[in-house]
Amino acid sequence: METNQKMGPLPRGDWRLWGGVLLASLVLFFALFFYARAGRSTYDEGVGISYETARVLSVLSDDTEPDPEVENVRRGSQELRLELLSGRHKGDVAQVTNYLSAFYNVYVKAGDKVAVSVNTLATGEYSVSVYNYSRDLWIWAFMALFALVLLAVGGRQGLRALLGLGITVLCVIFLLVPLLVQRGWPPIPTTLAMVAYTTFVTFVLLGGVQVKTMVAALGSFGGVMLAGLLAWGACKVVHISGMNMDEAESLLLTAVDNGLKIKGLYICGILIAAEGAVMDIAMSIASAVDELHRVDPALTARELFRSGMNIGRDAMGTMANTLVLAFAGTSLNMMIFIYAYDVSYTQLLNTDFMAIEVIRSLSASIGIVLTVPLVAAISAWLLAGRGKGKR
């Protein structure tokens, strides 16, 4: 029998291998980053519309008043004196009329910061209009709060989780999007490669290079692949593609200037959405089976698989429910609209919206469910084999 080894504060894998894997991953990231952005054209910042930050120096007039017909939202206009705080016109003072309506409603007071659009002509003249509230500092503050809570609760493991999350976000924003838009890479294979990369790097950060993390990474990627395959098949049957999305028309205008492929973007969104939930359940099962094997290395593959399935059954219900509710939450306004206008059964079930949401939520949920036996089987097979070799 092998002796139990307690997990220390650092990954159990070899430090050199762990560091080498992360270094190779970073090299790959930066190579793709510079490749994706090479040759990107930029707009002339001196002419055209730019978005800057401004401070309200004073409210010269205010004829707004609450409208009881639209939940007392203020309507009317304000005359404002603004000081531009950024951009080439920084320090200038402009007088701006701020119009408020039920849908465009940015009511400000003296001292408030706002985001403004500055339209500069070739002659150098420019006009300023209120765009929205200045929210950037608050958004960064919420991000910082999330990071602090994660670090306070998770400690070093929280730090590694935060690094993994950061890498995933950077990959989506600075690798996936530029490769699709700037380079015209095929959406689905590119997204799958990004999912495989971020899943592998995240698990290496969390647990080092060991059987448990590699099984979780492999099972996660398999679950995402299954979710994507199911979504692709369903889309073929019900005739749904990226062209059915609300943003398709705007994306078509973008695609004219580059090689962007729109049809596969819907499946890409499902792959990315499923990744996080699948990773969660995959790591839970792989970690639990690994712990069972460490406590009793004599357990057979069948016994480990059965235990992994029992653990997975308890977790997959809540995980699938979480994913479906997340998609439902984003569609709440549309569901209220459907109810208010008493849309008929036949009309509702045959809309693009309903097909898109059902395929998105159920394919990802099925991927979560199928991840359970996949990870349990791989973990049991590998760990039981290691146990035989060490007895």
Mean pLDDT, the chain, whole residue set: 85
Q: Report the chain's terminal Cα–Cα distance, integer Å.
A: 6
- Cβ neighbours for 191, distance < 8 A, ≥ 6 positions apart: 176, 267, 268, 271, 272
Q: What pLDDT does residue 378 have?
A: 92
Half-sphere exposure at residue 332, Cβ-oriented, CA atoms within 13 angstroms: 4
Q: Please answer whether residues 127 and 116 qualify as being in contact, where contact means their C-beta atoms are separated by less than 8 angstroms.
A: no
Separation between Cα atoms, residue 78 and residue 339, nearest integer Å: 37
Given its phi and psi angles, is residue 107 left (phi above 0), alpha (psi -120 to 50 degrees) or beta?
beta
- Only one residue has tokens 């402009």, namely 94
- 59-67 average pLDDT score: 93
Residue 14: per-residue pLDDT? 63
What integer is the mean pLDDT of 272-277?
Answer: 85
Backbone angles phi, psi at 197, to 5 degrees: -65, -50
Q: Which two tokens stand for residue 209?
A: 């290079």
The mean per-residue pLDDT over the stretch 24-35 comes to: 88
For 139, left (φ over 0), alpha (ψ -120 to 50), or beta? Answer: alpha
What would the pLDDT profile of 104-114 be if each residue is shown by its tens digit?
Answer: 899 999 999 99
Q: CA 290, 313, 219: angle at the middle one, nearest 5?
A: 50
Report pLDDT for 42. 58
What is the percentage of the chain residues whose pLDDT exceeds 70?
91
Q: What is the mean pLDDT of residues 1-25?
A: 58
- Prediction pTM value: 0.81
Each domain of the chain, given as residue ranges in start order, spans 15-36+141-390, 48-134
| CATH, range 48-134 | 2.40.50
Nearest Cα neighbor of 58 from 135, 120, 112 is 112
Pairing mode, strands 48-62 and 113-120:
antiparallel
pLDDT at 258 over 80: no
pLDDT, position 376: 92
Interhelix angle 265-295/187-207, rounded to 10 degrees, is: 30
Task: Give the pLDDT band of residue 160 (cuts 50, 70, 90).
Answer: confident
pLDDT band for position 43 (cuts 50, 70, 90): low
Beta bridge partners of 61: 79
Angle at 143 between CA 36 and CA 182, to 5 degrees: 15
Q: At 362, list the tokens.
A: 């159920």
pLDDT of residue 276: 80
Q: How far apart are CA 143 and CA 149, in angstroms?
A: 10
* Residue 114 exposed, middle or buried by CB count within 10 Å (0-12, 13-18, 19+): buried
Tokens, residue 47: 């002419």
Is it the case that residue 327 has pLDDT exceeding 80? no
What digits encode the pLDDT tens for the residues 185-244?
999 999 999 999 999 998 888 888 888 888 999 999 999 999 999 999 999 998 888 787
The two tokens of residue 194 are 């990004």
For residue 258, the SS3 value is coil
The pLDDT value recorded for residue 175 is 92
How far apart CA 245 and CA 187 sit, in angstroms, is 15
Whether CATH 2.60.40 fits 15-36+141-390 = no
Residues 6+ apart with CB under 8 A from 125: none
DSSP symbols for 156-169: HHHHHHHHHHHHHH
Is the pLDDT at 142 greater than 60? The verdict is: yes
pLDDT band at residue 321, thresholds of 50, 70 and 90? confident
Structural contact between residues 380 and 301, judged by C-beta atoms closer than 8 angstroms: yes
Per-residue pLDDT for 290 more than 50? yes
Lowest mean pLDDT among 75-84, 130-139, 257-266, 369-378: 257-266
For 138, phi then psi, to 5°, come to: -70, -40
| pLDDT higher than 50, residue 4 | no
User: What is the percent of the chain with per-residue pLDDT over 90, rounded to a whole number?
Assistant: 40
Above 80 in pLDDT, residue 246?
A: no
Rounded mean pLDDT of 353-363? 86
pLDDT band at 119 (very low <50, low <70, confident <90, very high): very high
